[in-house]
């Protein structure tokens, strides 16, 4: 499992090379990307609790580092959802080989076919069953044990040997 772990590399001083923050930030000056329109849309003080000088400082910070932001979707494409590899190497995920499977249902006897359809419709209406377009199907069968109410049994077995049986009665 050695290859399947998160590896991070932190620089010696991540703040090295950054400009010091100004004690008196300048008024907003539109940049190449951080324009007046984008500043308004970005709404850096939505709660309106920042002092004017604090808001100027935030605008200066965004303006000074405007090339670090993705201003539209086209700027995200090469790095969409990933960290810079100088800090985090790509993560590998361990997987197991997989084969899709489909199990055919056990046939419903014609004598109880309509009763089974009624049970299924009731379960759908009650939210017990929900529509699915999954690639997998498991066996189900209908029973009437000891003359009691009808029961639908869902066998969630798979060729992998895992097995789960769900019982759903009509009571």
Q: Please spell the DSSP secondary structure of 88-153, one letter per residue.
A: BPPPP---------B-PPPPPPGGGHHHHHHHHHHHHHHTSS-----S-B-EEEEE-GGG-S-EEE
Kindly report, residue by residue over 2-50, the tens digit of the pLDDT. 677 777 778 788 788 888 999 999 999 999 999 999 999 888 999 999 9
Q: Is 168 helix (H, G, I), strand (E, B) or coil?
A: strand
Structure tokens at 90: 């790509």
Residues 153/144, Cβ–Cβ less than 8 Å: no
CA neighbor of 123 nearest in space, from 151, 147, 155, 148: 151
pLDDT of residue 148: 60
Per-residue confidence (pLDDT) for residue 166, from 0 to 100: 45
Distance between CA atoms of residues 111 and 69, nearest Å: 67
User: How much is the pLDDT for 67?
Assistant: 86
Q: Which of 91, 80, 79 is nearest to 7 (CA)?
A: 91
DSSP secondary-structure letter at 166? E
What is the residue extent of each domain of the chain?
1-94, 110-154
Q: What pLDDT sits at residue 164?
A: 42
In our burial notation (b when 16+ CB lie closer than 10 A, e otherwise), range 42-52 reads eeeeeeeeeee
At residue 157, the pLDDT reads 57
pLDDT bucket at 60, cuts 50 / 70 / 90: very high
For residue 97, what pLDDT is reported? 83
**Average pLDDT of every residue of the chain:** 76
Residue 54: pLDDT band (50, 70, 90) is very high
Dump pLDDT digits (tens) for 127-164: 777 777 666 666 666 666 555 666 666 655 554 544 44
In this predicted structure, the answer to whether residue 63 has a pLDDT above a threshold of 50 is: yes
- pLDDT, tens digit (0-9, with 9 covering 90-100), for 84-122: 777 777 778 888 887 776 777 778 888 888 888 888 888
- ∠129-131-132 over CA atoms, to 5°? 115
Q: Count the Cβ atoms, other than its own, within 10 Å of residue 103.
A: 15
pLDDT at residue 79 is higher than 50: yes
């Amino acid at each position: 499992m050695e290859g399947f772990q998160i590896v991070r590399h932190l620089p010696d001083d991540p703040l090295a090379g950054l400009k010091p923050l100004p004690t008196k930030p300048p008024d907003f000056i539109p940049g190449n990307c951080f324009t007046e329109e984008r500043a308004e849309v970005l709404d850096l003080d939505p709660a309106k609790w920042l002092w004017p000088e604090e808001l100027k400082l935030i605008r200066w910070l965004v303006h000074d580092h405007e090339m670090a932001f993705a201003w539209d979707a086209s700027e995200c494409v090469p790095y969409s959802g990933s960290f810079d590899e100088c800090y985090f190497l790509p993560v590998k995920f361990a997987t197991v080989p997989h084969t899709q499977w489909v199990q055919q249902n056990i046939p419903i006897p014609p004598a109880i076919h309509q009763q089974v359809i009624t049970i299924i419709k009731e379960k759908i209406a009650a939210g017990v069953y929900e529509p699915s377009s999954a690639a997998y199907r498991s066996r189900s069968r209908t029973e009437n044990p000891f003359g009691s109410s009808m029961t639908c049994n869902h066998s969630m077995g798979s060729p992998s040997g895992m097995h789960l049986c769900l019982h759903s009665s009509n009571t």
